[in-house]
């Protein structure tokens, strides 16, 4: 595993990413206000994240995958379905459940989003409630900033 980080100015946070030795499988992604103590390595995923935060386009992130180790088949289906939602668009918890083949599982989708180890790579900020923003582990302010960066209306 290789750890790297960037400063994401649009959200005012450091983004720390752990990537597998293959350089393409993201194991964890964390957003924090505290600057990491280790030197940034300039990995391809960090460069792709910098481009994402510059442009709001997630095309640069499409070449990276998420680590499926320990994930249930249901979680994998939900996370894969969410990766198909383009930047600038949102989906409700219920719509995402249906898109993943589990209509009526909106609550379970919420649980999957709350435990997403790789936000942005699996863009849980794009999942909203039918009556508003819903939740986000990084906080609603960060969720709004990410949606605005991508051109979504929130």
My answer on whether 51 and 119 are in the same domain is: no
Is residue 8 within 8 A of residue 29, CB to CB? The reply is: no
Q: What end-to-end distance do the CA atoms of the chain give, in Å?
A: 36
CA angle (96 as vertex; 8, 52 as ends), nearest 5: 20
**The pTM is what?**
0.94
Q: Which residues are catalytic?
A: 124
Sole residue written with tokens 């249906």: 98
Domain limits for position 75: 69-149
My answer on whether 58 and 73 are in the same domain is: no
My answer on whether 13 and 51 are in the same domain is: yes
My answer on whether 56 and 73 are in the same domain is: no
CA angle (54 as vertex; 48, 55 as ends), nearest 5: 90
Tally of structural domains, the chain: 2
My answer on whether 114 and 75 are in the same domain is: yes
Predicted confidence at residue 154, as pLDDT, reads: 76
My answer on whether 74 and 137 are in the same domain is: yes
Tell how many helices (H) and how many strands (E) occur in the chain. Answer: 5, 6
Q: pLDDT tens across 34-87, in order?
A: 999 999 989 999 999 999 999 999 999 999 999 999 999 999 999 999 999 999
How far apart are alpha carbons 30 and 48 in whole angstroms?
15
């Amino acid at each position: 595993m290789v750890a790297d980080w960037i400063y994401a100015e649009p959200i005012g946070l450091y983004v720390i990413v752990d990537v597998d030795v293959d350089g393409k499988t993201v194991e964890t992604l964390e957003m924090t206000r505290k600057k990491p103590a280790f030197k940034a390595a300039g990995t391809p995923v960090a460069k792709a994240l910098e481009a994402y935060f510059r442009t709001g386009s997630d095309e640069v992130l499409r070449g990276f995958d998420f680590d499926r180790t320990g994930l249930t088949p249901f979680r994998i289906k939900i996370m894969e379905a969410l990766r198909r939602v383009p930047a600038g668009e949102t989906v409700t918890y219920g719509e995402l459940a249906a898109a993943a083949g589990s209509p009526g599982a909106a609550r379970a989708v919420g649980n999957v989003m709350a435990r997403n180890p790789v936000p942005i790579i699996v863009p849980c900020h794009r999942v909203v409630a039918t009556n508003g923003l819903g939740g986000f582990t990084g906080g609603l302010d960060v969720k709004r900033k990410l949606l605005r960066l991508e051109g979504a209306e929130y």
